[in-house]
């Protein structure tokens, strides 16, 4: 059996083959999350010509360069405003945002909550590795309390965001979470976001063995994924856990929130009708 056979999987057609291998570190979860996105695109049959991938700045946001669509690598924190402009200018496009915890919840935090509030029809996938990886491991708004980072050498004292609860409170109409361990589930959660006409937010927990793991006694990528396996609990089961169990590092995954609300494109069509410009 040759080890250099070329196995072709159907999802590979969504990648720019000449750009691979990607630049992420050995064991980084971003590659898994990126595959989950293209598999969700494949599952939902989204056209490659009519789908735009928009990313910000950071490790996660390098994903756009590997994906064979119209792709836009924006400035730090600004992926959601760029994506908003794309969607409003051409509503037939499927607009997918790939962002990171620093990109989305720190520098881009205001854009994130207002994208949710507007219920603009985007699918935003947050690769949450709990750290600023590209710059070498500084604390992010999702770094757990007490975890170490180069800018939190004695443990982080900043209370972390729960990005999903933030999205829900801000008006997102589809909020889900999964992990790099639960690859198929993650892909299903993203696919569910494509079905929602409105702001869909999917938090993908991904491991950063290089910048986060090594500082926090989890240098092995597999060990970090085992931690996800052991601490992620499906939402229905999580809701039934006693509070003491909930606080023991466990977190819910699955579809966390969904609501029916008018998306911004639809709402603006009404504005055009009122103004007398519909169909122009």
Residue 175 to residue 62: CA distance in whole angstroms: 23
Q: Does 13 bind another protein (CB under 8 A)?
A: no
Measure CA 131 to chain center. Answer: 14
Q: Does 35 bind another protein (CB under 8 A)?
A: yes
Q: Does 71 bind another protein (CB under 8 A)?
A: yes
Subset of residues 113 to 172 that bind another protein, contact rule: CB under 8 A: 114
Q: Do the bridges between strand 123-128 and strand 70-73 make them parallel or antiparallel, or are there none, so unpaired?
A: unpaired
Nearer Cβ to another protein (97/175): 97
Q: How many residues bind another protein (CB under 8 A)?
A: 77
Distance of closest approach, residue 181 Cβ to another protein, in angstroms? 7
Residue 160 to residue 55: CA distance in whole angstroms: 22
Subset of residues 75 to 114 that bind another protein, contact rule: CB under 8 A: 75, 78, 80-90, 92-93, 110-111, 114
Residues 4, 45, 217, 243: which binds another protein (CB under 8 A)? Answer: 4
**Residue 52, CA distances (Å) to 94, 165, 263, 274 in order:** 6, 26, 18, 30
Structure tokens given for 177: 């979470």
Is the bond into 21 cis (omega within 30 degrees of 0)? yes
Residues 42, 72, 171, 266: which binds another protein (CB under 8 A)? Answer: 72
Residues 193, 213, 221, 254: which binds another protein (CB under 8 A)? Answer: 221
Residues 37, 54, 59, 176: which binds another protein (CB under 8 A)? Answer: 54
Nearer Cβ to another protein (224/256): 224
Nearer Cβ to another protein (20/145): 20
What single DSSP character describes residue 62? Answer: G
Q: Does 204 bind another protein (CB under 8 A)?
A: no
Tell me how crowded residue 200 is: count the other CB atoms within 10 A of its CB. 28
Nearer Cβ to another protein (5/247): 5
**Residue 67, CA distances (Å) to 63, 70, 261 in order:** 7, 8, 31
Nearer Cβ to another protein (240/272): 272
Helices (H) and strands (E) in the chain, counts: 10, 10
Q: Does 278 bind another protein (CB under 8 A)?
A: yes
Sole residue written with tokens 């910048």: 211
């Amino acid at each position: 059996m040759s080890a250099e056979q070329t196995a072709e999987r159907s999802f590979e057609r969504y990648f720019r083959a000449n750009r691979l291998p990607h630049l992420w570190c050995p064991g980084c979860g971003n590659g898994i999350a990126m595959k989950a996105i293209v598999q969700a695109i494949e599952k939902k049959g989204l056209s490659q010509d009519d789908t735009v991938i928009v990313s910000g700045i950071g490790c996660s946001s390098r994903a756009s360069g590997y994906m064979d669509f119209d792709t836009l690598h924006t400035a730090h924190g600004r992926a959601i405003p760029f994506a908003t402009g794309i969607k409003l200018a051409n509503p037939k496009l499927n607009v997918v945002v790939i962002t990171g915890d620093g990109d989305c919840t720190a520098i881009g935090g205001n854009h994130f909550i207002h994208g949710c509030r507007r219920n603009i029809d985007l699918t935003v996938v947050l690769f949450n590795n709990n750290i600023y990886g590209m710059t070498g491991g500084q604390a992010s708004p999702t770094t757990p309390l007490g975890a170490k980072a180069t800018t939190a050498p004695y443990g982080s004292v900043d209370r972390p965001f729960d990005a999903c609860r933030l999205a829900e409170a801000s008006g997102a109409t589809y909020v889900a979470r999964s992990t790099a361990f639960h690859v198929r589930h993650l892909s299903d959660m993203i696919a569910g976001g494509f079905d929602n006409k409105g702001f869909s937010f999917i938090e993908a927990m991904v491991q950063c063995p290089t910048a986060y793991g090594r500082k926090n006694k989890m240098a092995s990528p597999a060990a970090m994924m085992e931690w996800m396996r052991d601490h992620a609990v499906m939402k229905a089961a999580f809701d039934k856990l006693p509070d003491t169990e909930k606080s023991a590092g466990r977190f819910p995954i699955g579809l966390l929130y969904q609501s029916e609300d008018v998306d911004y494109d639809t709402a603006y069509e009404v504005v055009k009708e009122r103004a007398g410009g519909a169909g122009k």
